[in-house]
Chains A and B, each alone.
Chain A
Amino acid sequence: MGSTIMIDPVTRIEGHSKITIQLDDAGRVVDARFHVTQFRGFEKMTEGRPFHEMPSITARICGICPVSHLIASAKACDALLAVTVPQTARNLRRIMNMAQITQSHALSFFYLSSPDLVLGMDSDPAKRHLFGVAQNAPQLAQDGIALRKFGQQIIELLGGKRIHPSWIVPGGVSHPLSREDRDTILAMIPEALLRAQRTIAWYKTTFGQFTEEISAFANFPTLFMGMVNPEGNLSMYAGRIRIVNAEGEIVADQLEPATYQQWLAEAVEPDSYLKSPYYQPLGYPEGIFRVGPLARMNIIDRCGTEIADQEWSEFRALQRGAVSSSFHYHYARLIEIIYCIERIRNLLNNPEILNDHVRSFAEPNAFEGVGMSEAPRGTLMHHYKIDKNGRIIWANMIIATGNNNLAMNKGVCQVAKQFVRGEKIEEGMLNRVEAVIRTFDPCLSCSTHAIGQMPLQVQLLAPDGTVLDEKFQA
């Protein structure tokens, strides 16, 4: 028996988690594990609720990406109604989804990860936060706050409220977009685009400082999964699933979301409330895959908007085959912000967006429905069964962050082996172990349909369990 280091809680991520690092007698890392510590039970507690409450209830899984849950849930309800959602409503949902992705990516990049990038992985933990960035790189902090605000304002203009709007409903959306609100959003676009482009230009100049992190931050072959449209372009709202391997070759394409149980399965580990989905044909744990911005940039044939596509070509030139380092989630996230802003503009420039036919009405026509869409962190699925009175009898949700669980665990282990030396624990080593988790931007409120924190406690234990060294990060 060697000793164990515990990082508790992992901070600057959205959720409750711990990391344990196992050392052997010589102080070398033999294993490291990522534990999600909260569980909320939405799959059970929604039992008996009328199906049309599901979007509002499941939005409360997560306050960071409530819109993603609204969308996946409403799509599962659309399938229960078995109606066609009007085209304008589909495009309005798309706009809200992309506003959501923009604000959530801004939170991840600027608020949570930029302190590591601007101030350094080894900088003073007491100052390593957004306010530290605001002092050292004020423009960057302002751009981050403004981009998050841009996304939240669009959500508010469409849905009346920034967090937990109730505008997306089974069959469509509750009310159309006014000309005035459309013009307000269009007027916000140029500045947002400028801020996003300025950020990506700066970000690309920093790669040189992080070569070691790039090479060791969850940098290994896996499958990548995400949604594409029929042309193979990036698609955040509707489409089918594509899976590519580490060489960038397509393994499966145009998989129908409703058939997910045939190719995706979930495994449970004893030390985490977060389940581990895997690609069934390869089995567990060989069916490890990644989702989210990095995966999406790896699976698509192109983004489908002008500026994002230019950035995407540069991104794909980083590596032959799929780009494999999770460090590049950050880069992919910034490209997606640009894509979302461009795409929102393009959708709003079509006059049909003001059409007032935005909802189809029906009673339930099916007893089972699956809804799938791309959330900021990757592919999200809601699956419901109802009785003849329209009450939920069973629900399953596979959450974007969960899809990355196997890769996050493997990534934590890789970083710990690279950077942690048992004989002397430095704060910066442990911060890197946390930073690899931050690249995935795990949303643990979502993934455990859960969230918080506890002291970071690092203990080195002798084989007999006595404490050799103890350190609190305070």
Chain B
Amino acid sequence: MSAKAKLATVWLDGCSGCHMSLLDIDERILAVAEQADLVYSPLVDLKVFPEMVDVTLVEGAVSNEEDYAKIKKVRARTKILVALGDCAVTTNVPGMRNPFKVEDILNRAYLENAATNQHIPVAVIPPLRQTSLPVHQVVDVDVFVPGCPPSADTIFYVLTELLAGRTPDLLGKTRFGI
């Protein structure tokens, strides 16, 4: 067994932009792979969240029942949980639906804006929760990294600090929006 740190990335209700910003560290991704094993992520094929992970980056808000169950499990199995990006930190864009009733949102898409088989999908797929929540309202978060998305340099800094066992100092390195 290698003594490499275990890194995971999780994608809840976000646009994938925070994951793309992680990839925007370009060739430095190979350096990260030297330091840590990516044990769970949309980028790899392992489909079960491992028992113990050192650092997990979470993109997106908690919007449906699957997100909710998943983040509970991820928290229980992660040492350092990072809320990555504005959607995870504040709900940002997913939260824009909160003033509307879930029913009205679904009606617009599947009844009004459809021509055939108009009905709300219900089989196999997870139901939406009434409101979209930021991650820290569901589980404890250790590190908050705002930004939409946080820049690649900021993400790289956060990762290298955490993997080296230090607490990243984000002052001046990122902010909401932009």
Contacts and interface: CB of A to CB of B under 8 A. Distances in A.
B83 to A, nearest CB: 15
B63 A40 contact: yes
Main secondary structure of the interface of A (DSSP, over half): loop
Contact of A44 (B21, B47, B63, B104): B104
- Assign chain A's interface to a size class: 35 or more
Interface in B81-133: 92-94, 96-97, 99-100, 104-106, 108-110, 113-126, 128
A474 B46 contact: yes
Interface stretch (A291-299, A321-329, A451-459): A451-459
Contact of B43 (A8, A12, A47, A457): A12
B119 A270 contact: yes
A272 B119 CA distance: 11
Contacts of A266: 113-116
A11 interface: yes
Contacts of A149: 24, 26-27
Interface stretch (A124-132, A355-363, A369-377): A124-132
A472 B48 contact: yes
Contact of A164 (B27, B148, B152): B148
A40 to B, nearest CB: 6
Given A267-B115, A271-B123, A164 B38 contact: no
B140 interface: no
A275 B148 contact: no
A448 to B, nearest CB: 9
A275 B106 CA distance: 12
18 contacts: A35-B125, A38-B13, A44-B100, A44-B108, A44-B109, A57-B93, A63-B19, A129-B45, A134-B30, A142-B27, A161-B178, A163-B17, A266-B116, A268-B118, A275-B109, A450-B13, A451-B15, A452-B13
Interface of A: 8-9, 11-16, 18, 20, 33, 35-41, 43-47, 57, 60-64, 66, 107, 111-112, 125-126, 128-131, 134, 141-142, 145-146, 148-149, 152, 161-164, 265-273, 275, 278, 280, 284, 396, 431, 445, 449-457, 472-474
